[in-house]
Amino acid sequence: MESANKGPETSAGEQFPPSEKQDPNQNVQLTTQETSTASAQKSGGPRTQQGKEKSKLNATTHGIFSKVVVIEGESRAEFDALLNGLRNYFQPKGTLEEIQVEKLAALFWRERRLIIADGKANIGNGIDPLGWNEAPQWELLLRYETTLDRAIERTLSQLERAQRTRLGQPVSPRIDVNLSSS
C-alpha cells in the first residue's frame, strides 16, 4: 500500500530491525553538513594579495580585544610599568595570583586603549584608532567599556579572595546581584 508521500506505508504493528530504522535527524545532519561545506567553498577568505595582507593582522589590529596585549604603536615599556606597578601593589604569591595580576594588567591596558580611542574619535581628527575605517559606533564602545569594567571587577575580586585565602583571613561570600529592567 502506497501513501500520499509516495513511500511505502507501514502498519502500526510492523517492526523494522535496528539496521533498517532511519534516524529522522539524518537528513537534517547531511543537509547542514552539505550547506556548511558549500558555504566554506564559496567564502574562502580574501583572494587578492592586498586583501590577504590586510586580513592577516585582524587579530592584532582590532585593538580593544586583540589577542596581542601590546599592539603596534603602543609602548611596551608603559605596559611593563603598569604590570610591575600592579605586581608591587598586590605582591602576588604563586601561579594563580600571578596570572590574575597579569590578567588585570591586560584588562587595564585594554581599557586604557578604549579611553584613548574614545578621545581620539571625539576630536574628529581622522585617526581611526580601532581600525574600523568608519565612524565610531558609540553603542559598541560603551558595550566594550562595560565588558572590560566587569572583567576588571571580577578579576580584582578573584585576586582578593585568593590572597585572603592564602593569608588565612576570612573570605566573605560572593554576592551576585542581577538587576534587569524587564
Question: In terms of residues, how long is the chain?
Answer: 182
Query: How confident is the model over 21-68, as pLDDT tens digits?
Result: 555 555 545 455 555 565 556 666 777 887 766 665 554 444 556 668
DSSP 6-35: SSB---TT----GGG---TTHHHHHHHHHH
d(CA 111, CA 145): 7
Q: Which position has the higher pLDDT, 97 or 144?
A: 97
Cell numbers for 79: 605596559
- Mean pLDDT (the chain) is 74
Query: How confident is the model over 79-99, as pLDDT tens digits?
Result: 999 999 999 999 999 999 999
Q: CA 66, 138, 145 angle in degrees (round to 5)?
A: 50
Q: Indicate the SS3 state at residue 2.
A: strand
Average pLDDT over residues 166-172: 91
pLDDT > 60? residue 10? no
Q: Which position has the higher pLDDT, 162 or 42?
A: 162
pTM score, two decimals? Answer: 0.57
pLDDT > 50? residue 14? no
